[in-house]
Amino acid sequence: MTTPLTLTDQRRPDGTPVLVAEGEIDMSNVGEFRAAVDRAAGGGRLVVDLTAVDYLDSAGLAALFAHADRLELIAPPLLDPVLTVSGLADLATVHIT
């Protein structure tokens, strides 16, 4: 069974792509998440808004690590430990809101 996940593409006024995720990101839906991240990044800077994400497993982290050098994450306090312990917070720009 696939865990509910909603992904929405947006753009900042400066044109930077923003991928907004809502729900849980796990092995059941990581293919969809990875494809959305890859598509939105398009080889450039990408903002991923995780403020409405309740759960992020290692598969979801791996999808983000692939773009860590050009990634800006907006995340809730709930995800701060996962982003820190995984080392992603050291490689990407992370804003905890």
Q: What would the two tokens of residue 29 be?
A: 């839906």
Q: What is the predicted pLDDT for the residue at 53? A: 98
Report how far residue 3's alpha carbon sits from residue 73's, in angstroms, rounded to the nearest whole number. Answer: 21
How far apart are alpha carbons 40 and 37 in whole angstroms?
5
Per-residue pLDDT of 13-42, as tens digits, reads 999 999 999 999 999 999 999 999 999 988
How many other CB atoms are there within 10 angstroms of residue 20's CB atom? 19
Residue 54, judged by CB atoms within 10 A of its CB (0-12, 13-18, 19+), counts as middle
Q: What is the mean pLDDT of the chain?
A: 95
Residue 1 has pLDDT above 80, yes or no: no
Average pLDDT (3-22) is 95
pLDDT at position 55: 96
Taken in order of first residue, the domains within the chain and their CATH numbers are: 5-96 (3.30.750.24)
The predicted structure's pLDDT at residue 91: 97
Residue 88 has φ and ψ, to the nearest 5°, of -65, -35
